[in-house]
Structure 1
């Protein structure tokens, strides 16, 4: 029996439709969804995540559920990540990404797998590989028109530039991210952004500004009950207060974080809290208490294989033992820290370790060895910080060690040399000096004419540009004089104005009105942003709905009344 072609096409169409529906249904099921919800309630519990992940994987394999398998590998990967097993985490994330079918339903999970794979790369010390993945995630979220995750991806992408020392690029991306959150009218996701801005301010040695940013983020985290970010802010505040030597404040925040992470079985984060507590007690000269908390942190770092953290901890323990007068123990810790920092090519840490070793050796009276480590630290400072590539550290260290060996060989050779007679040395030195005198005289004669010519050109050049670049000076009633190019902003406080400049941490005070100053500085690139604030437009870095940030990390309030005028002024300034 032969069926009509129209009927055959209809049957085929129905078959394909049913097949596609069956395939779509095969992505996940109710059991997987319940397990995913259970996993989300145990986000910080590594062991629970591992158990749930195995259950999800077994069920998904049995029923051929693609999305279920992806979710299972994410759970297993994140469980490994929480333990500090970053290579195992990446293997699981990769397995999940290999499954990912080209279905819209799988996109959110594929996004999370990619993002966390990049973060694992960062923790393994492979920032370049991480940046490649972060860029792909940025492009993917943009292509999908997923504004929320695009903003989150941009924030992660900026971290790479921050870690490379390109703070300008990082802050530009953070500004773009802030604009997206403002356009969406969403504040809850600004917490991670403010965390990253605070870290960038730390890198720029703007600790006070960083603390201010962390507190702003902390308020948002509390408002929206984002526990994870709230305790990250607590941790970072503890670090900053240690830096500021406000040790009681550091202990307050460290205890909060330690209790939370212990409760949630987050070993690495709990260890970091103990490390911060140790630093605070060390600052308070309670060295035995510091040793106690350092020991707690060390056991956790060893268990999780967190090498970088372990190296930092050994460095801190060396300082603590030096302060206790236990110099042999202190030296053992510096040796352990040095070995880790060399292995991981952590330049700044290695320099600090050499400085610390020099202090310990000085305390024992071994000034010769101390001097060698001072020179080693100086060598790294002079050479290593000139390059952006940390992989050159081993080359720098090797060069220094070879130089030391060459110097030793040269010393031995000179001691055994047949040319040690005084008359021979004097003769050689005399010939060398005579040669240099002749060369210097010839070069000096030629250079005099060149120098005179350069001086005349420089004089003409300076006379030409002095007028163009002459600073506008602001003469205050208090007799103080301020260069407007260095003036960041002006704050009104009653009948007085506070003038904040780049160079001075304390403001210049003058009895005046903001209205008069606004009129005087209108043509100098200043604009009023609030009833109490006048700002130099050249120093604005980030603008959001209610405040703006300056280049130095200072946050200032932005009033709705003045916001339209500010935008108009900025547009006019840009176009001109």
Structure 2
């Protein structure tokens, strides 16, 4: 177990060394792409070419959609529709994209509205591929809302159209969708057949679709209890995901492998894969955050420059008006008074615009800080998860050493005197290792980094001085661990934990009906 632990920590350390450089490269690529797209939009606007403007908005929408900045993606898709009012295949494509965004956001009513508009236009145009994609998305909407009959109806219509078009990619996706519906209905044999069909169509197609289908084949075999087949499929999915550097699919495969080994009873292997999955998940979160923060930074800078340019233009207009007023005043006082009144009115309007632009700058700055705060919260959540995992590792280690100590103690009476003395010496060494407090010091240090004021606040509110063991118990309760897990960490019985909790309650200002753990979590 110690070797596995060291391996996982080493892998995480090496990954963190390369992650910073990768994030910088990702950020530069996102910056360059956004600047290129914005430049194309500005050029099209200067040329007043409505078709190029519409295409620029569409590409920007797809860019934000890829980064999951849904508000910006939706806004740019709407700009495209405002310019390209003709109901053609582009209209169908954009409405399907808006439906998919709202499906991901779980706004199923809005998603259905966009998709029904898309379906109506694609039917009027006799646009078969558009109809097939829309039916597939509608099927997914009904699946998420647990309307499985309607989901199967739309997916089967989509499947029929893709068959007539001989579209292997569409057939692969639709068969996978049907398998997913039957998986939700717990009809695993039917789901497996559809996943197999999906794989046959995707075998020579896009790698991301192929990997996802293989993962589904592994998962459906795991749920059916066929762990060896599940293991084969999932390992194949992991290998393909690693070859294509698809982190989301790598994470999914590692999670499924952990579940499979847990089902096989090999909890050590399950723990190892789960730890690998946690590392990949952290990498993916940091990569996505790097893309998101970089895009928002560039977006903020672009908006700031646009606002500054508008502000400068308005200022130039004000200067022009002033010069005009001076010339007019030289001609006639009456005319100067009239023009002065108009100037005052325009100046007030311009200043109002300037105030609005400044407010837009402040709002852009606030949006940037909101993104940074969200990224910081994700980092804290990761650290809390690491702390809990470390606590469970201590419990596992203590349990293992206790079992070894007990076994050696039982053997000492069955052998000769020399062996007996040696076994006694080994038992003493193990018990000495179990009593080592270094891990407690390290754990409390981790805890103090995440909850720096917890112990000080606890000492202030306590009615009587708390012992070191009571402080440890408070820390473990604050980590939201169960009495069983606490007993394993402290190497005591569950009854001893219950008595310790009872004594702790007497030293804290808590009512008899209130929950001790809830009180500490809210402290």
Q: TM-score range by the shorter chain?
A: 0.3 to 0.5
Q: Which has the larger helix fraction?
A: 2
Give the number of the structure with larger relative contact order, counting CA–CA contacts within 8 Å between residues 6 or more apart: 2
Q: TM-score, normalised by structure 2?
A: 0.48
Q: Which has the larger strand fraction?
A: 1
Q: TM-score, normalised by structure 1?
A: 0.44
